[in-house]
Amino acid sequence: MQPVVLINPFEVPAGEEERFLKAWHEVAGHMRRAPGFLSTRLHKSLDPQAKFRFINVAQWESPQQLQAAISSEAVQKLLAAVSFTAHPALYQVIAE
């Protein structure tokens, strides 16, 4: 089965990059140990003024496994402690 792709564009105000990165690495540390995780890539904009300062692109075996990882207590606790505006959605690659 084709993997599902989570793409998550983050709006991170200037000066908050370090706080964002610390939180992202903490969450990613849990996610990458969860069943179904395939890969993740965190992108940082070259332009500090870009609307989306960071965009995460992660591959998972299935939407259900991703949802289970996000719903875990450890991840929920971390997410509750940070408050960056994000636009996560699931995608499939339709053209290359």
Task: Please report, as ranges, the residues that interact with a copy of itself according to CB under 8 A.
Answer: 4-5, 7, 9, 24-25, 28, 39-47, 50-52, 55, 57, 63, 87, 89-96
Q: Which of 88, 96, 1 has its CA nearest to residue 40?
A: 88
In this structure, how many other beta carbons lie within 10 angstroms of the beta carbon of residue 55?
Answer: 17
Shortest distance in whole angstroms from residue 92 CB to a copy of itself: 6
- CA distances to 1, 8, 64, 72, 73 from 55, rounded to whole Å, are 25, 5, 22, 22, 24
Cβ proximity to a copy of itself, 11 vs 74, nearer residue: 11
Cβ proximity to a copy of itself, 47 vs 73, nearer residue: 47
For residue 50, the cross-strand partners are none
Shortest distance in whole angstroms from residue 10 CB to a copy of itself: 12
Shortest distance in whole angstroms from residue 72 CB to a copy of itself: 21
Shortest distance in whole angstroms from residue 64 CB to a copy of itself: 12
Which positions ≥6 away from 49 have C-beta within 8 Å? Answer: 14
